[in-house]
Amino acid sequence: MPGESPYRCSACGNADIHTFYRVNGVPAHSCLMLSSRAEALAFPRGDIELGFCRGCGFIGNVRFDPGLNRYSAAYEETQAYSPRFLQFLDEVWDDQIERFGLGPGMTALEIGCGKGEFLVGLCERSGCAGIGVDPGYRPERTRSSAAARMKFIRDLYGPKYAHLHADYVCCRHTLEHIEPVREFVRLVRTTIGERRHVNVFFELPDMERVLQQGAFWDIYYEHCTYFTRGSLARLFRSAGFDVHRLYEAYDEQYLMLEAQPAGGPTDALLPQENDLATVTSLVARFERQVNERLQSLADALARHRADGHRLAIWGSGSKCVSLISSLGLSRGLGPELIAVVDINPHKHGKFLAGSGLEIVSPDVLRALRPEVVLVMNSIYVDEIRRDLAGRSLHPELIAL
């Protein structure tokens, strides 16, 4: 049967995997900004083939090769520090501190703490002590009144850190980078041992929204695992956690789970865990729609190519790297791609992994005069149209 595969689910071990989305030769990291074109072009590539487990609803890249990971201090998370995002962080800090009564004498452990911002905020606000583990941590970035009660370990979390005891364990935007994922969640459970009072909080992208919106540009090589509320809860329950709270946040872009250790596997109790039928039909719809969507974009671009038009992309994040791969734009399968524009000045002069395109300021378009501009986020179409018109540019805009 087409779509059937020889793979096993890395969340539950089931062999009933339906593969439904493929892109080959994708840069292994998409939010690394590289300083030379040669480095960007030579960047390691891997293949994406998403497999949906009919047993537990987990979705993963069955072709993922952890050997291509390059997490280090050079890794720069491109989290937007927009007022909107900071407000969201404020809410998460307050909510977690209040719910779990974090305060002096307690210790919070953050697995995959990045540069440590979340843990620092948590410790500063609550008075608790903190331990952060992440290979990308940079000590010079932490300036905090809570620094004396915080410790950071620049490494990947693993069994050798099982001795790190904490009252609260959090892991934000990390699980989606981890394979084997079941072993990881079991390790967290094993580490907690018999200390049943420990609260665990995970935050990660919500795949349900990606499926609903057909947002194939939100699928990257870096993200090897994809969860909905049900599949996430099933994994935690099978690993010996009791799931107390499970919800979507930040415009349904994120998935939040709170759990406590149990004596063994636990049964589903929350109504939102019961999503397998919904997710199965969303996967089928995504599979149908993504091909139509890719085809209609490819057709539009082929018409521009036939007319000799040149293309610029507005927005240089992971979505852009993903789109260039999906449409084969760097292999000349569309109109000539002459520029990738970003309004963030810190990105100018850097190069995109895979395509080797330089990220430039919108001002560069004055001289390049593209006939068509692909807008990576439709929310900004009007703003971008005005920006372009202000530079006497009136290209056709194609918005995602």
How do strand 150-153 and strand 129-133 relate by DSSP bridges?
parallel
- CB of 219 vs Zn ion, minimal distance in Å: 18
Strands (E) in the chain, as ranges, are 17-27, 33-34, 45-53, 59-61, 107-111, 129-133, 150-153, 168-172, 199-205, 225-226, 241-249, 254-261, 310-314, 336-341, 351-352, 359-360, 372-375, 396-399
Distances (CA, A) of 351 to 42, 342, 360, 399: 12, 12, 9, 23
C-alpha–C-alpha distance, residues 170 and 122, integer Å: 11
Is the CB of 11 or the CB of 198 nearer to Zn ion? 11
Is the CB of 56 or the CB of 200 nearer to Zn ion? 56
> How far from chain centre, in Å, is Cα 228?
13
In the block, residue with structure tokens 């090769």? 65
Is the CB of 55 or the CB of 328 nearer to Zn ion? 55
- CB of 159 vs Zn ion, minimal distance in Å: 23
- CB of 5 vs Zn ion, minimal distance in Å: 13
Q: List contacts with Zn ion (CB under 5 A).
A: 9, 11-12, 14, 53, 55-56, 58
Tokens of 99: 């719910």
Is the CB of 12 or the CB of 156 nearer to Zn ion? 12
C-alpha–C-alpha distance, residues 397 and 216, integer Å: 20
How do strand 396-399 and strand 372-375 relate by DSSP bridges?
parallel
Is the CB of 21 or the CB of 168 nearer to Zn ion? 21
Burial class (CB in 10 A: 0-12, 13-18, 19+), 296: exposed
Is the CB of 198 or the CB of 235 nearer to Zn ion? 235
- CB of 200 vs Zn ion, minimal distance in Å: 21
C-alpha–C-alpha distance, residues 133 and 116, integer Å: 9
Is the CB of 14 or the CB of 278 nearer to Zn ion? 14
DSSP state at residue 304: H
- CB of 45 vs Zn ion, minimal distance in Å: 27
- CB of 187 vs Zn ion, minimal distance in Å: 18
Is the CB of 56 or the CB of 129 nearer to Zn ion? 56
- CB of 130 vs Zn ion, minimal distance in Å: 33
Strand ordering across the sheet containing 59-61? 17-27, 45-53, 59-61, 225-226
- CB of 46 vs Zn ion, minimal distance in Å: 22
C-alpha–C-alpha distance, residues 4 and 377, integer Å: 33
- Looking from the CA of 21 toward its CB, the CA atoms found within 13 Å total 31
Helices of type H across the chain: 37-41, 83-100, 117-126, 181-192, 207-213, 229-238, 276-306, 318-327, 365-368, 381-390
Residue type, 107: T
Q: Let me know the angle formed at the C-alpha of 80 by 74 and 81, rounded to the nearest 5 degrees.
A: 105
DSSP state at residue 206: B
Is the CB of 55 or the CB of 180 nearer to Zn ion? 55
C-alpha–C-alpha distance, residues 174 and 188, integer Å: 13
Is the CB of 14 or the CB of 142 nearer to Zn ion? 14
- CB of 9 vs Zn ion, minimal distance in Å: 3
- CB of 11 vs Zn ion, minimal distance in Å: 5
